[in-house]
Structure formats: structure tokens, C-alpha cells
Chains A and B, each alone.
Chain A
Amino acid sequence: MTISCKDLAKVYEGGKEGWPALRGVTFDIKPGEFVAVTGPSGCGKSTLLNILGLLDEPSGGSYRLRGRDTGAMSDAERSLARRDGIGFVFQSFHLLNRLTAAENVGLPLLYAGVEREPMRERAHGLLGRVGLQGKERKTPLELSGGERQRVAIARALANSPEIILADEPTGNLDSASSREILDILFGLNAEGITVVMVTHDRELAARAGRNLRMRDGRLEA
């Protein structure tokens, strides 16, 4: 099992008893699956994805990533697990505008201690893989939305992760760009990478191998 969650709960602080975002979510994800997480706004999709990506910690329940109990991991171990095992694709890209496309892609390699030249080669290779040859030196501000998201995908692939977590990756894109991005994600999944994608789009969810529907912090049957 790549991902195994049991009774996962998350309560945000606020009010008298806090605000529950997840109320006991249990599911497993096998290696190589393409899972779409759907549901209305505020149902806890993004919270779930943040917990799966080790960006946030659950308030209750357990989450095992590749057999390891994440609750027992130190911050350094979580950073390491994110760096080497998980790639993120966000709705609003989250690229650093100061850096070029190639530098953005190389950033995870920098934290992995990769030398300058191999880092440059890998970044250029990844940008080529998502169809951005020749745009390595452009900054995000000089790229279209679809291109920016492709840079983000290239960045997510930098350390060859087993899992890609995508939070509404096409939410800010037109339909043509959305199609391209999805093609890339499905292509990666075909290569064996596990993809977990949060989306509003039912049509898109239907293309995924499996669909986790959420409502009010719970999984619908």
C-alpha cells in the first residue's frame, strides 16, 4: 500500500470546539493508482491532500505512507519524505517569480544537494518532457497559465517521486490548457507514478481510475 489512512480527523482551531474539516476518513491507495478526490467546496479535500503531502498533521487517526507511520516522523523526516517521495502541483502554481523556469524546476534538487551542472541538465530535461524546450530561461511572469502549470509539474518530478499530489491543477486554466495538463498527469500515471488529484470537475474525475467523493469531512459511500 502506498497510502493508508484510518479514521483520519482534522480539527482547525476556532470557536469553542474548533472547526472539524475531516471527521474520520479511512481509505487505502495502491501504487500506480490515479485517484480523484471530489466534493463541494469546504468538504475537506484540500485538508486531506495537505495531510497526505505531509504539509499538515492530522488531529486524529493514523496515516501510513509506504508502510511508515507518519505520526512518528520528525519534522526533518517529513521534509525528507516530501523532498524525495512526493511531488506537488497546486492550483495557483506556486512558482517563485524571481527565478527562471529552469531554476524553479531545479529548486527541489538544490535541497537534495545536487550539483549545479547535473541540476541544470535535469531541469532542462524535465522542461523538455513537459513540452517547454527553449523556455528554460523565462520567468513565470513571462509564461502563460498552462506553461506555468507545466513548469510546476516538471518541478514536482524533479526528485522522481512515487506520488504526485495535485490540488485542482486545472482550476486556473482554460479548457485547452487543462486538457494538456491532464494528458501529462495521465501520462505520468501510465509510467507508474501514483497520482492523487483534488478536483471539482466531475467529467475529469470520471477519467480517473478511482473516485473518492467527500462531503462534510467524510467519504461518501
Chain B
Amino acid sequence: MTRALLNAVRTGGAEIWAHKTRSVLSFLAIAVGSVVFIDAFSAIFHTYERLEQQREFSGLARMRIIQNQAASYSSPDDYVEPPTFGYEELKKLRAQAPEFYMVSGEARSWRNVMEYGGERVVASVAGVTPEWMKRDFGYTLRGRFFNWHDMEDKLRVCVLIRKAPPPPGEKIYRKVYSNTNAFDTLVTHQDLLGKAVSIDGITFTVIGVAEEFPQSRRMQGFSGWREQTKVLIPVTTGANYGIVRGGGQLEVSIDSGDEAAFDDAQRKVNNFLKINFGDGDFFVVENQLEEIRKNMAARLKDALVTISLGMLAFIAGGIGIMNVTLATVFSRTKEIGVRRAIGASRSDIMLQFIVEAVLLGLTGGVLGSVLGYLWGVPLKVILGMGASPIKPWMPLISILIAAVTAFAFAIYPAWVAAGLKPADALRAE
């Protein structure tokens, strides 16, 4: 049996080699299927990896208090000016919930002008509190961050965010990530720590420079990375000088610190809102865990769509292989007759053609895996899409699927070959 199998592999290999063009065309669709599968596997894996990263990095027990944009009024007369959840409310909530790991308020502005040494650059400023450091803090800090004294005294101090350097020696990364703007260039080339800068015409002292983690160590969570923010100032200072708009309205991020106690924490926050702002539903508490779950479900759905496309490619490939195997059977009918005459059984003949088809499938699977890797790692990076994590089991599984597909689609042609009567097969021209 082993000898017959080895011989079938050898004959199959020679046959595939003898009809290179036909063979390549037949396994091309299988290769495409493999590429698509690897991409989908990678997407699924990446989703779970990110969830894990998020859990490690900041935990999942997060929620956000945001203004209820969906609030509706039946007539303009019913309109009530929504109340402000400002710094004072934030302090009050903090005092009532000391067990929370983080209660961070943030007010953002998108377009401010920073000036240093006669150079004016556009920057986005965010007003934050000291607890900002507890949220997704993917930075290496030089100098110091804000303290409560800065908040209370509305001091004109700021922390600048410096872009991560590209990974050393990686030309591709350099090309992709070198789209730095004037602010990044200024902060990268000048050491501004301790210097005075002007933001929207008001002088601030730079008390810290926070450098982003390099791309490779950067957390890719689901809550959205605030790439845009370039300058941090105390939220109170921002409101006081009118640098951040929104009348002191804050977006509040809360980390209850404990996934298990999350429901209780959410109830506590809702109660706080009700007591302080009434039943007006001016605010909503967004459950980040819920958001992550929704996000993950959407990503998994995308991956499933991709997988079904891959399945279609595999089926197309299988049909191609079936077609080629049938053609091979007909072009080698006489050979089948000779083999039968000298003692090959029907199963020997079946084995011969199935092995040939599986070899085609395997070749397609291997080619697809190589292409899938090239697509997932260097090509996607060159195209600025971010590399897909490809684990060794991904190509292995897609090669296996390719082989199984080829096997399944070869059964019919092999059965036709085995069913030929030896005398008829020998008479074939």
C-alpha cells in the first residue's frame, strides 16, 4: 500500500509537471481560497488578541458618561438647556465613589495654535485631569504629569505628546509612518520640557513630554486611540481660558476597576446622574464592555463573510481540479487499461487519481499560504493597512482545507476512472 501510494505520488507529480499550465490554472482558485482564509483567520485571531490586550492594558470594566444626543423634544417650547457635567460634578462623583479605579474627565478641542520660538503650528488640545494617566496610558513620560494642585489653581501648564519613532531599520515602516506634521516635527526636534509655549495666545509651561510607545508595543484596543490629541492641559485651565469649548462640559470615563462589580458600579453612576440632574435623561452611560462586544461581533461577522468568500474560492478551485482530473482520466484511458491488465485493482486506479488531485490541492494550498503571508505582512504594511498577525497554524489549516477540498472533488473523476472496463480502456485512442 505504501509503495503504491509512493508510486501514485511520483506518477502524479510527473503528470502535474508534464501539464504545468493546466495544473497551475486548476489550483489557482485554491490558492486564492487559501489567501482569503488566512486573512480571515488572522482577522479573527487579531480581534481576540486585541480584546486580550485591552483586558491587560486597561481592564474591561469601563464606562463613559456622554451627553444624550438622542434626546428628543416634541416642540421647541419643551426644550430644556442640558445641564453641564463639569469639573465640580466630576469631583463630587469621585468623592462618592472612591472605590473606582478611575474617574477621568476630558474636554477636547480640535484646532488650536501653538507657538514656540516664532514658529506657529496647529495642534489639538485636550483638557484632562490627573486621572487621565490611568486611561490607556501608552506613553513614556519625561517631566511630570498634572496634579490636583494644577487643577485647583487652573495653572497654565501643559504636557506635549511626542510621536513614536519608527522602528529602527524598517524602511517600509519609515515610508508609511513618516507623515509627520509641523507639530510632530517641532516636538521631535526641540526639547521643549521646561520651556514656555503659547497656546491660542496664552503662555503655558511645558511640564512633561509624553512619548508614544513604538508602533509594535502600541495597544490597539477597541475604545479608540486618541491619536489626534497633541497637547494636554488641566481641564480647569482649559475652561477658564476658553481654550477647550463646550462650556466646561466633560466626557467622563470611569473604570470601576473590577469586572465582577461592574453592574453595581454602573447602577451607582446612574443613580448619581439621576440625583444630580433629575430624570431628564440628559446623559447616557455607555458600557464599554458592551461596546467591545458589539465591535467584536461586527469584526467576527466581517471575518465570516470573508470566510464564505474563501469557501467559494475553494469550491471554484475544487471544480477546477475535478475538471482537470476528468480531462486527465480521459487522456490517460489507455494507461488505465494497461494498469488494469497487469493487475491494478479499481481501488489502485482510484488512489492514483485522488493522489494526483490532492497533490494539486496541496500545491495550491502551499502557494496560497505563501501569498497569504506576503499579503498579510509586507504588502498590507506597504499599503498602510497594518500587518495581520499570522500564526503557523493558519497556513497549515488552509493547506489542509485545500487538500480536503481537492480530495472531495477528485472522488467523482477517480470513480469514473476506476469504473472503466479494462478491455474498453485498452481500445481507447
Report which A residues bind B (CB closer than 8 A): 50, 53, 55-56, 75-76, 79-80, 82-84, 88, 90, 94-96, 98, 107-108, 110-116, 155, 158-159
Contact = CB atoms under 8 A, between A and B. Distances in A.
B344 A56 contact: no
A111 B348 CA distance: 8
B334 interface: yes
B71 interface: no
A113 B11 CA distance: 17
A98 B423 CA distance: 22
A112 B342 CA distance: 10
B14 A98 contact: yes
Nearest to A167: B426
What are the nearest 5 A-B pairs in CB distance?
A83-B343, A56-B423, A79-B345, A55-B422, A55-B423
Given A55-B423, A55-B426, A113-B3, A88 B342 contact: yes
Interface of B: 1, 3-4, 7, 11, 14, 18, 334-335, 337-346, 348, 421-423, 426
Contacts of A108: 342-343
6 contacts: A50-B423, A80-B345, A82-B343, A83-B343, A107-B339, A112-B343
B52 to A, nearest CB: 52
Contacts of B343: 79-80, 82-84, 108, 111-112, 159
Nearest to A115: B3
Contact of A113 (B1, B337, B339, B341): B1
A96 B335 contact: yes
A107 B340 contact: no
Contacts of B337: 55, 94
A94 B421 contact: no
Contacts of B344: 79, 83, 111
A115 B2 CA distance: 10
A75 B14 contact: no
Contact of B426 (A94, A98, A155): A94
Given A79-B346, A96-B338, A111-B345, 19 more contacts: A50-B423, A55-B337, A55-B341, A55-B421, A56-B422, A56-B423, A76-B346, A79-B344, A83-B342, A83-B344, A88-B341, A94-B334, A94-B337, A111-B343, A112-B343, A113-B1, A115-B3, A116-B3, A155-B342
